[in-house]
Amino acid sequence: MNYLNKTLEQFQTDMILAAKKGFPILLSGSIIFLLFTFLPFVLPLKPVCLIWILGMSAIFPFGLVLCKMMNVHLLSTDNPLSVLGGMIAAAQAFFIPVFILVYRHMPEYLPFTIGLLGGSHFLPYMWIYRSKAYLFITLGTCSSALVLGGYFVEQAFTLVPLATSIVYAIGILLIFKELKTDAV
């Protein structure tokens, strides 16, 4: 099919099939946040915060490695929605100064901030992938960061990443269900 003759719906369908709704990125995030859960048990707060800020930048590259291993084509050069998805993901780089500011002035609120800002970036993928799973991921990540990171500040570095990891894992299961339904 000619690139110019494709409809938006065809681009979305192609993206859904090739990228498998981006589940390897979520798997990467789930693994990394699960690892973050245990950091406060072995390290003091200052290095934990720095690992959080730097570790967030590992999610996407690790996700790409998982994509390669699972034969998932997330970065399709022939689909403009892939470019849009990449732009949405890349916009998170602008959150880094916020994370640094929170780290310098209120480090105990870093899980709250990362959870809310990071979780909110998933909302556009609901449209790109025609996926209610991404609405669940957005609301689950943001609400758990809001409640656990805002009200249980003392345990936030353990509770927020654990909740995020669980939300992502449930989101992956929902995506698998959607992919199965889409295939029928």
Using one digit for the tens of pLDDT, what is the confidence trace for 46-94?
999 999 999 999 999 999 999 999 999 998 888 989 989 989 989 999 9
Average pLDDT over residues 116-132: 96
Cα dihedral sign, 30-33-37-39:
positive
User: Which structural domain range is residue 106 located in?
Assistant: 3-183
Total structural domains within the chain: 1
How is 98-137 classified by DSSP, letter by letter? HHHHHHHH-GGGHHHHHHHHHHHTTHHHHHHTT-HHHHHH
Statement: residue 184 has pLDDT above 70? no
Q: Is 156 left (phi over 0), alpha (psi -120 to 50) or beta?
A: alpha
1 vs 177, higher pLDDT: 177
Would you tell me how many other CB atoms lie within 10 Å of the CB of residue 75? 14
Cα–chain center distance at 68 = 18
The CA-atom distances, in angstroms, between 52 and each of 100, 135, 161 are: 11, 24, 10
